Structure 1
Amino acid sequence: MTVDNDKYLDNGIQYAEVALPLPLDLQRYVAAPTEHRLQPTYTYIIPSHFSALAQVGCRVIAPFGNSTREGVIVSRPSKPNLPDTSIQLKKITDCLDEKPTFSSSMLQLTHWMAEYYLSSWGEALMATVPGAVRSQQKQTYKLKAGPEAVAEFGSRAKLQRQILDLLQEEGKLTRTQISRRLRKAESALRAPLAKLLGQDLIMVMAKIRPKSQTQYETVIDLAQPLEVTQAEAQQLKNAPKQVEVLKFLTNQEVNLPILQSLLTRQVRCNLSTLKSLEKKKLIRLRSQQIVRNPLSLESVPTTEPLKLNEAQAHALTAINRVIEDGLVTTFLLHGVTGSGKTEVYMQAITKILSLGRSAIVLVPEISLTPQTVSRFVGRFGQQVAVLHSRLSDGERYDQWQRIREGKTQIVVGARSAVFAPLNNLGLIVIDEEHETSYKQETSPRYNAREVAIKRAEIQGCVVILGSATPSLESYYRAEQQTYQLLSIPNRVSTIEMPTVKVVDMRRELERGNRTIFSKPMHSGIVDRLQKREQVILFLNRRGHSSYVFCRECGYVERCQDCDVSMTFHFDSKQLLCHHCAQERPTVDQCPACGSSYIRYFGLGTEKVEQEVIKIFPHARVKRMDADSTSGKDGHQRILDAFREQQIDILIGTQMIAKGLDFPNVTLVGVITADTSLNLPDFRSGERTFNLLTQVGGRSGRSQSGGEVIIQTYLPTHDSIKTAQHHDYVGFYQREIGYRQDLRYPPFTYVATVLLRGLEEKEVIETAHYLSEVFVRFQSDAFPKIEIRGPVPAPLSKIKNRYRWHFLLRHTDNRKLRDYLKQTLSHYAGYRSRQIDLIVDIDPVSTL
């Protein structure tokens, strides 16, 4: 039915379509007109005093239900497009931007993201802006009704009555404060608070302020020429502290202006001394913006472009030709570890800068960022900005503002840096493009690689995907000539690839070796220590022991909320769940049978560290995992010490497996290569090959050569055999055949649908209902959709929530997404608020 909206064409009234960061409402999605299918967006009236400010792309505060939300104006229609003329439109309450935060190209990119990944447009928009830039709300609740109304409420709803009594007693409280007073979870308060608001018994007040903002500090400068100041100081004999300040400021070694905080510390003076000098017009006090810069530019040596070998030069020539021609192209740069891919990136960026354009460089792990940033800062200096999650809010805010204002031309960072608001973007580099950390785990569940390619298409620029172990999807696209393949088959100069030895741990056990180190591994470590060379030991499992076991009755300590075994951490003497972070003290007796025969089984990095220290007591040993690098600069401190050869043996998880370059490392030992091979995921073989190749690539990055020793119980597995011979193409050919036979990506597109909730019975019932909906639509409009499930997820319970899932496949990505939109819109009318539904398009894991 078409609605006549002419009644809204009143003179002077202006409208805005606002995208709010709310979960996608699939019922509204299907009901909306085709041209407005991307819901939810909401129509608001623009008050006249915001008329000039409320531009498309600006952030605004708008009322929504009983609260207010930060949203983004995505259009300003001449009249609202409403399904019902009885709807009473609300007004925007505040404008947060003087100029638009979101450009037209970013609106276009986020529109695509929302459509592709089945999120709301508002969620996609907010994912592009660092949390430090967004506003934050403090909501407080207070009584609206009088004492009589509260008394009349009675005790028919116990929790609501408790809230009313509490607010009557204390005035106004936040939800967190109410939660603490009543000892109830905040989630349990949502429904009763909403009911009290609906009955007009209480009211909510929202105070909105920016999470971070520009920081200013007072600086001090001389108000008179140097000679005049020195002469005046001679006349201040009765004010010795003022004289001391002036002498300090006129010292030739002091850089002016100087921070007031620094001056008062150096001279030990107070503000009244400075005010007296200002009154005498001898100094000036003024406010100056302070840039919170995470980069230590002074400590990074300047570097010049290196001479490229033939393969590097060929790759750069192909890239520069496309840049000069202004073509939109995606390159897959396949170069072995240590082949000099980063130098190709930097020289391509030099070309981009010469044309007045800018570049983004993405790295997959925070641990890579400091080393990568140092290389780019050494080449490009203050043109580099950095964005990643370990920056403080203030640092992230200032870096983002620098980028937005055009004060930097290069951004280096992790996944979300793909959205950096650079002007005239010309190049996006994605290093280690195969890495799963480029996939966002919360809505919108985007893959930064795919977003980068779409952004390049919208803004007319080049993408370089670099890896020693490209994802199968990327290499297949290169074979199909969707991407342009460039290869660097050898390491730089005459440095050879490390030799790789595979040790069958079954044979070691037969020979009586029950330690975690095979004989070749032990001998290799001894040899390197004698030569004063460095060793990296890799194990992709942190903690000490992977489970605690009673040898009397078989009891295993498991997390009560996650149904997985608890990991023993020696440092804290605690059992820890790596999924929900629940901690529990270790036990001396079995909780089930009372036996004292408690044993710790399995390996973790803590246990490897203990064994190394015991066997090699004179070696300097350090562990690098999520537990040992929890501080802001935890990664950097360890890597700096290793680079300066203050550490002989570095033990770590996958954060040491990629991108790090230490010339003195001549041995890499993989404690067990089998950890990820047995996971119930079709990518487990690819993930194992990638890890072994990448971690092995840390060895032999100098003329000294290198060796990799891989310990395994599956020495004949294809992933291990091909990694031993640095044979990516051989691995690809075997794996791509397996994928084609079993109809996995890149030959199909995959989506997972996960249901999770507190009540197992309700989760199962909902899963079976959704299964019926899937089957009904499958037989109707989408006969070629493959549906697997519902079944319990491999991790069937996490954080006290039971998990069931579906896996859906189709050869056409658009049809798969259309099918999901149609079916899930019907499920939306049935679903319980107690059940979460999570849709993941192109998942990187099916666990």
Structure 2
Amino acid sequence: MTLSPQFPEGTLVAVLTTEPLDRPLDYKSPEGGCGIGDFVEVPLGPRRVLGCVWGAGKGGFDLSKARSVSSILDIPPMREEMRSFLERVAAYTLTPMPSMLRLATRAPGLMNPPSMRKVYRRGDGMPARATEARTRVIDALEEYRGLSFTLKELAEIAGVSTSVVKGLVEAGAVREEDSPRDLPFMRLDPSRAGKELTGAQAEAATTLRAAVAREEYSTTLLKGVTGSGKTEVYLEAVAECLAKGRQALVLLPEIALTAEFITRVEERFGAKPAEWHSGVTMTERRRVWKMVGAGGAQMVIGARSALYLPFQNLGLIVVDEEHDQSYKQEDGVLYSARDMAVMRASLCSATVVLASATPSLESWANVEAGKYTRLDLEARFGPAVMPDMRALDMREEKLPSTRFISERLAAAVRHRIEAGEQSLLFLNRRGYAPVTICRACGYQIACDHCDARMVEHRFLKRLMCHQCGETKPIPDRCPSCDAEDRLAPVGPGVERLGEEVKALFPDAKVAVLSSDLFGSARALKEAITDIAQGDTEIVIGTQLVAKGHNFPNLTLVGVIDADLGLQGSDLRAAERTFQLMRQVAGRAGRAAKRGEALLQTYQPEHPVIQAILSGDEEGFWRAEAAERKMAGVPPYGRMAGIVLSGPDLAQVMDVATAMARNSRPLQSIGAQLFGPAPAPIARVRGRHRVRLLVKAEKSAPIQRALADWAAQVKIPNAIRLQIDIDPQSFW
């Protein structure tokens, strides 16, 4: 029996488009009708745009002027759970719904008709001449009988060249067929045995499996010291999810982590998961998007935006390194992927696992309040133990101004080289030097478009603005006074540190890891793989190296400037410094050899430095929580950052002042308003920036008040208003 459409042909339907409009638009349902959630192509002016049927049309105009939906797209409709999720995120973050739909449809070619490509599967014949390479292809196809592969996929699985596969096609042993371009992913087998777990790991895995098996919402904080095997534990939860026939999503904070993680998934489940991040091709993005919606992808490994994929039956979300700041989207739709993961799971009866060695204070507080459960892994896996940690008081060093590695740290590195082990020197600052100054007139080279100093990148032979990305050649003369040979770099970046390391250890194999030194995610993954295999003696890196990498032969971590993150007025400065130092120290001694972490500091008596060295994490969280609670700031209060930007500073300040004077909606909920004031970085891409900050009690309806407040002031077209709920940065 054919079901009648929800909206018969000619019925008015409301279509939400991805265009920047303030509401859904009314269209006539197409021939054959349509239903809520259908993805459609609709005319808008002279163009045809992507939309989604959001409900019944409102009408109230001459219906003869209504245009019809052009076509219904051949992709699964948006589920009710997904529509509700987008609406709730929009309401929480004060984001227009078209922007939310755009975030949820970030795959190319969704309006294109399905296309075909060549695929390969087992044929009926056998080759007349059997070589080792040909046998590997046939064995691979026999193992995955019934599945088809692209030429590249089959060659990679069998470990042969593509010409071997083509030869087997001519011999009739392999069939070449036309198939839809967007194929399902290979099935993952949850029944395969995982690695043998320790008692503590097995207990935690059993608890997580039980949570997933209940098929109801819950959130668990999986806290384990670095190297304790958190990944193997939550992969058991993934296995339970897949066994239940549901889909799993694992969020990672850094693309460079995906290669090693995918290898572990393939070892555990016999096939690779789908990937969703900026490093995959546009063709693969479309395939992932469509297969997730059609149930052809059981597991996705992705960046924060993977949270908005159209999962058919999402049963588990893992947020690995849940404390990481990169989970906060800082442009476009401003959201925390960690918090929105919890929201999405609550709407589809899924389990959330937040994994970290150094949890965010927000997650720690939710455990304390009874909202989340907590599982602890307190020991490293196998013979590995936590590294010894010591502070090196730089006030006792007599280093020249051009040196940044203390004699004691250099001696420790030398000892590790002699022992055949690896050292990591950590400095959370990209480039060669953060400031270039003229010693004749004092001029500091700044970005032409931003209120920021340009960073010298000597490897690239360019100056770069880390706010807008603008670059320019390193000048020979001062742009201000025209003095020649008087420009000098001030302060260290990882490139300058690399220069010093090569001078100190001329025969050592050195690798510098910084995101801007690699042209592609693939090149970065290859560099990390080489380090893990022991091809490097000294690694120099930014916070990129602090995130979950496993370098078995790395036994020494030296932090060049442990005080760097303690500067400034960020309310999370202490928390982030604590997390970063503990994370980077955790790269040392992850195998049988004992590790050591040395922190160069000018403030060894600072409470945060002392907490890092003592390892009293619970004491640190309690002290930090008490301070935040007393100040009424997150996670014990609500905050929102408002940034007004525009080309004319006076106009931007006038609008900000008018908003401050008309703050009655904020006063009605007891909120405090601070500002307006120039933002710490007062100009970006030629636009002047003015900030206001709102603070309210935890229970205050801050979104409603902010919406009412912003609506009462007319914002000129040249000025952009951005509201950031729960801001993570205050620049």
Q: TM-score, normalised by structure 2?
A: 0.89
The alignment partner of 2:643 has SS state of strand
Following the alignment from structure 1 to structure 2, what is the Cα–Cα distance between the partners of residues 359 and 503? 44
Following the alignment from structure 2 to structure 1, what is the Cα–Cα distance between the partners of residues 95 and 610? 41
Following the alignment from structure 1 to structure 2, what is the Cα–Cα distance between the partners of residues 753 and 283? 61
* CA contact 2:435–2:456 (8 Å) conserved in 1: yes
- Give the corresponding residue for 1:556: 444
- Give the corresponding residue for 2:466: 578
Q: Among residues 697, 701, 716, which one is paired with 1:832 in the alignment? A: 716
- Give the corresponding residue for 2:108: 132
The alignment partner of 2:555 has SS state of strand
Following the alignment from structure 1 to structure 2, what is the Cα–Cα distance between the partners of residues 416 and 508? 46
Following the alignment from structure 1 to structure 2, what is the Cα–Cα distance between the partners of residues 355 and 269? 39
Query: Which one is further off, 63-72 or 744-753?
Result: 63-72
- Give the corresponding residue for 2:456: 568
Following the alignment from structure 2 to structure 1, what is the Cα–Cα distance between the partners of residues 296 and 576? 39
Q: Among residues 167, 170, 178, which one is paired with 1:287 in the alignment? A: 178
Paired amino acid for 1:723:
I
Provide closer, same or farther for how the CA distance between residues 625 and 134 of structure 1 changes in structure 2, counting only shifts above 3 A: farther
Q: How big is each residue's C-alpha offset from its partner over 1:766-787, in whole Å with a ceiling of 9 and x where there is no partner?
A: 111222222x3334x33x0111
* CA contact 1:332–1:465 (8 Å) conserved in 2: yes
- Give the corresponding residue for 2:691: 805
Following the alignment from structure 2 to structure 1, what is the Cα–Cα distance between the partners of residues 8 and 210? 55
Paired amino acid for 1:415:
R
The alignment partner of 1:587 has SS state of coil
Q: Among residues 345, 350, 359, which one is paired with 1:470 in the alignment? A: 359
- Give the corresponding residue for 2:16: 19
Structure 1 position 11, deviation (Å): 9.7
Structure 1 position 441, deviation (Å): 2.3
- Give the corresponding residue for 2:581: 692
Q: How big is each residue's C-alpha offset from its partner over 1:647-670, in whole Å with a ceiling of 9 and x where there is no partner?
A: 111111111111111111101111
Paired amino acid for 1:838:
Q
Provide closer, same or farther for how the CA distance between residues 837 and 353 of structure 1 changes in structure 2, counting only shifts above 3 A: same
Matched, 1:843 2:731: no
Q: How big is each residue's C-alpha offset from its partner over 1:729-768, in whole Å with a ceiling of 9 and x where there is no partner?
A: 1221221122122221011111111111111111111111
Structure 1 position 536, deviation (Å): 1.4
* CA contact 1:575–1:583 (8 Å) conserved in 2: yes
- Give the corresponding residue for 2:80: 104
* CA contact 2:185–2:296 (8 Å) conserved in 1: no
Q: How does 1:747-786 map to 2 (within 5 A)?
A: 747-774=636-663, 776-779=664-667, 781-782=668-669, 784-786=670-672
- Give the corresponding residue for 1:71: 51
Structure 1 position 121, deviation (Å): 2.1
Matched, 1:43 2:32: no
Query: Which one is further off, 603-612 or 253-262?
Result: 253-262
| Higher Cα Rg, which structure | 1
* CA contact 1:22–1:120 (8 Å) conserved in 2: no
The alignment partner of 1:627 has SS state of helix
Following the alignment from structure 1 to structure 2, what is the Cα–Cα distance between the partners of residues 546 and 794? 17
Aligned length: 705
* CA contact 1:24–1:118 (8 Å) conserved in 2: no
Provide closer, same or farther for how the CA distance between residues 118 and 268 of structure 1 changes in structure 2, counting only shifts above 3 A: closer
Paired amino acid for 2:681:
L
Structure 1 position 676, deviation (Å): 2.2
Following the alignment from structure 1 to structure 2, what is the Cα–Cα distance between the partners of residues 294 and 568? 44
Q: How big is each residue's C-alpha offset from its partner over 1:190-244, in whole Å with a ceiling of 9 and x where there is no partner?
A: xxxxxxxxxxxxxxxxxxx57xx6550376998x9679xx8xxxxxxxxxxxxxx
Following the alignment from structure 2 to structure 1, what is the Cα–Cα distance between the partners of residues 161 and 242? 43
Identity %: 32
Structure 1 position 321, deviation (Å): 3.1
Paired amino acid for 1:822:
D
Provide closer, same or farther for how the CA distance between residues 379 and 66 of structure 1 changes in structure 2, counting only shifts above 3 A: same
The alignment partner of 1:795 has SS state of strand
Following the alignment from structure 1 to structure 2, what is the Cα–Cα distance between the partners of residues 750 and 462? 28
Matched, 1:816 2:708: no
Paired amino acid for 2:178:
S
Paired amino acid for 2:720:
D
Structure 1 position 478, deviation (Å): 0.5
Gaps of 5+ in 1: 1-9, 26-39, 136-208, 231-245
Query: Which one is further off, 316-325 or 259-268?
Result: 259-268
* CA contact 1:667–1:699 (8 Å) conserved in 2: yes
Structure 1 position 629, deviation (Å): 2.1
* CA contact 2:151–2:165 (8 Å) conserved in 1: no
- Give the corresponding residue for 1:363: 252
Following the alignment from structure 1 to structure 2, what is the Cα–Cα distance between the partners of residues 11 and 378? 50
Q: How big is each residue's C-alpha offset from its partner over 1:798-845, in whole Å with a ceiling of 9 and x where there is no partner?
A: 111110011112124661000011111122xx2111011111111111
Following the alignment from structure 1 to structure 2, what is the Cα–Cα distance between the partners of residues 625 and 269? 41
Structure 1 position 567, deviation (Å): 0.8
Paired amino acid for 2:722:
I
Structure 1 position 534, deviation (Å): 0.8
Structure 1 position 67, deviation (Å): 4.6
The alignment partner of 1:311 has SS state of helix
Structure 1 position 717, deviation (Å): 2.1
The alignment partner of 1:789 has SS state of strand
* CA contact 1:360–1:411 (8 Å) conserved in 2: yes
Following the alignment from structure 2 to structure 1, what is the Cα–Cα distance between the partners of residues 605 and 342? 37
- Give the corresponding residue for 1:410: 299
Q: How big is each residue's C-alpha offset from its partner over 1:301-353, in whole Å with a ceiling of 9 and x where there is no partner?
A: x9842333343233233323333344421111111111111111012222223
Paired amino acid for 1:824:
A
- Give the corresponding residue for 2:633: 744
Structure 1 position 13, deviation (Å): 2.8
Q: TM-score, normalised by structure 1?
A: 0.77
Q: Among residues 660, 667, 672, which one is paired with 2:549 in the alignment? A: 660
Provide closer, same or farther for how the CA distance between residues 107 and 667 of structure 1 changes in structure 2, counting only shifts above 3 A: same
Following the alignment from structure 1 to structure 2, what is the Cα–Cα distance between the partners of residues 616 and 101? 60
The alignment partner of 2:511 has SS state of strand
Following the alignment from structure 2 to structure 1, what is the Cα–Cα distance between the partners of residues 163 and 269? 34
Following the alignment from structure 2 to structure 1, what is the Cα–Cα distance between the partners of residues 62 and 474? 63
- Give the corresponding residue for 2:239: 350
The alignment partner of 1:613 has SS state of helix
Provide closer, same or farther for how the CA distance between residues 550 and 294 of structure 1 changes in structure 2, counting only shifts above 3 A: farther
Structure 1 position 291, deviation (Å): 6.4
Following the alignment from structure 2 to structure 1, what is the Cα–Cα distance between the partners of residues 48 and 590? 56
Structure 1 position 571, deviation (Å): 1.7
Q: How big is each residue's C-alpha offset from its partner over 1:260-282, in whole Å with a ceiling of 9 and x where there is no partner?
A: 99999959999xxx9xx99xx99
- Give the corresponding residue for 2:3: none
Matched, 1:449 2:338: yes
Structure 1 position 286, deviation (Å): 4.2
Following the alignment from structure 1 to structure 2, what is the Cα–Cα distance between the partners of residues 532 and 749? 51
Provide closer, same or farther for how the CA distance between residues 757 and 316 of structure 1 changes in structure 2, counting only shifts above 3 A: same
* CA contact 1:60–1:92 (8 Å) conserved in 2: no
Following the alignment from structure 1 to structure 2, what is the Cα–Cα distance between the partners of residues 219 and 311? 45
Q: How big is each residue's C-alpha offset from its partner over 1:494-546, in whole Å with a ceiling of 9 and x where there is no partner?
A: 4221011111222213x768621112210111011001101111111111111
Structure 1 position 285, deviation (Å): 6.6
Following the alignment from structure 1 to structure 2, what is the Cα–Cα distance between the partners of residues 107 and 268? 45
Q: How big is each residue's C-alpha offset from its partner over 1:32-61, in whole Å with a ceiling of 9 and x where there is no partner?
A: xxxxxxxx22222223x2x34x33222223
Gaps of 5+ in 2: 1-6, 142-147
Q: How does 1:572-611 map to 2 (within 5 A)?
A: 572-596=460-484, 597-611=486-500
Following the alignment from structure 1 to structure 2, what is the Cα–Cα distance between the partners of residues 269 and 305? 36
Following the alignment from structure 1 to structure 2, what is the Cα–Cα distance between the partners of residues 691 and 485? 21
* CA contact 2:137–2:165 (8 Å) conserved in 1: no
Following the alignment from structure 2 to structure 1, what is the Cα–Cα distance between the partners of residues 197 and 624? 33
Paired amino acid for 1:81:
K
Provide closer, same or farther for how the CA distance between residues 260 and 743 of structure 1 changes in structure 2, counting only shifts above 3 A: closer
Structure 1 position 118, deviation (Å): 0.9
Structure 1 position 415, deviation (Å): 0.9
What is the CA RMSD across the aligned residues, in angstroms? 3.3
Q: How does 1:107-126 map to 2 (within 5 A)?
A: 107-126=83-102
- Give the corresponding residue for 1:194: none
The alignment partner of 1:382 has SS state of coil
Q: How big is each residue's C-alpha offset from its partner over 1:573-627, in whole Å with a ceiling of 9 and x where there is no partner?
A: 2211111122222233323233343211111111111111111111111111122
Following the alignment from structure 2 to structure 1, what is the Cα–Cα distance between the partners of residues 684 and 241? 47
